[in-house]
Amino acid sequence: MNDIVIDVRGLRKTYKSYRKAAGFVGSVRSIFWREAVMTEAVQGMDFSVRKGELVGFLGPNGAGKTTVLKMLSGILYPTSGEATVLGYKPWERNAEFQKRFAIVMGQKSQLWWDLPAMESFLLNKEIYEIPDRTYKESLEELTTLLDIKGLLDVPVRKLSLGERMKAELVASLLHRPEVLFLDEPTIGLDVSSQLAIRQFLLRYNHENETTILLTSHYMEDVVALCKRIIVINKGEKVYDGSLEEMVRETSDHKVLTVTFTEAVERKSFELLGRVMEYNPQRVVLHVPRAESKQVAAKMLTEMPVDDVLIDEPDIEDVVRKVFKETGREGLRKYES
């Protein structure tokens, strides 16, 4: 049985804008002639997502992440290429399709600002033609999980940012969508609210097998939620796989953090790896991946070690390298 829910082939979006020279002369000249500038926001994107997957969609600002989500939700028409979500072409805006997905954009609200969130929920009930029983069950489940049952009659403008985002999620999930697009759902939230949203999404995805495509600049979101990531840069897909595989592909070192019971000179470490941090009783080394265990064993044997940790490189550093150094050829190997 084919369980592919989202299928994207050669998806492309090109924007046309006009460039005007500065100054009065440039303004007059632009009345008669303007230089057209074509910007390829998305360039021949290919990927597929299976039922129940929770996939992180990563890229720097301007990479094309939100443009892809808008095409997959039918907000934008592509310049070329094909995409299906639940078997529908999103930009045809089929009424049945629109009842089977939801999109949450962290920087845009669907709630009425001066009215209680409950009024927006009731409106969505009518828009999505949700049966009374289903609506009551969904509302009870979602408001309990997100801990906002006591806030339903409070005007949205009086809610905190975290409370508003929880209400946004309730409004988007009342009709029990099979596919959920999340664009920066934790942007601007405090640490506690971010954690609450992550825990909710993990549980909701697990219990309902909802297919989720998530964009976020917070790597904590991606690490906590996504087993698979798709990285795009300059409108192109440059990686599709697990975070662990990306770390292995893009970094050939591990990070050793060692503390000592007494002072050790810096020169003692210079042949063991790259010294990233040092004080006489603590050192952080970048050591070739294949040599990390041997180096740790050598230090334990020959130095007054109190504790030693062997970690993978920081995920944010790895992703930053991918953003910076990938292009049309895809992932490159990185030097330690």
Q: What is the pLDDT of residues 63-112, one digit of tens each?
A: 889 999 999 999 999 999 999 999 999 999 999 999 999 999 877 888 99
The yes-or-no verdict on residue 336 having pLDDT over 50 is: no
The yes-or-no verdict on residue 225 having pLDDT over 80 is: yes
* CA dihedral for 314, 315, 321, 324, sign (positive or negative): negative
The yes-or-no verdict on residue 316 having pLDDT over 80 is: no
User: Contact 185/213 with Cβ under 8 angstroms?
Assistant: no
In the structure, what pLDDT confidence band is assigned to residue 326 with cuts at 50, 70 and 90?
low
Q: What pLDDT does residue 331 have?
A: 45
In the structure, what pLDDT confidence band is assigned to residue 325 with cuts at 50, 70 and 90?
low
Paired strand residues for 255: 286, 311
Share of the chain above pLDDT 70, in %: 96
Helices 132-145 & 191-208 angle (0-180, nearest 10)? 140
Question: 236-242 and 228-233 as β-strands: parallel, antiparallel, unpaired?
Answer: antiparallel
Mean of pLDDT values over 312-335? 62
Nearest residue to 86 via CA among 75, 96, 71: 96
143-164 b/e (C-beta count within 10 Å ≥ 16 → b): bebbebeebeeeebeebeebbb
User: Contact 70/55 with Cβ under 8 angstroms?
Assistant: no
The yes-or-no verdict on residue 335 having pLDDT over 50 is: no
Q: How high does pLDDT run on average in the chain?
A: 88
The string of pLDDT tens digits covering residues 22-73 is: 887 777 777 777 788 888 999 999 999 999 999 999 888 888 899 999 999 9
Helix H or strand E segment including 243: helix 243-250
What whole-number distance in Å separates Cα of residue 104 and Cα of residue 183? 6
Predicted TM-score of the model (pTM): 0.80
Q: What pLDDT does residue 217 have?
A: 80
Q: What pLDDT does residue 130 have?
A: 95
The string of pLDDT tens digits covering residues 155-207 is: 999 999 899 999 999 999 999 999 999 998 888 888 888 899 999 999 999 99
3-class SS at 14? strand
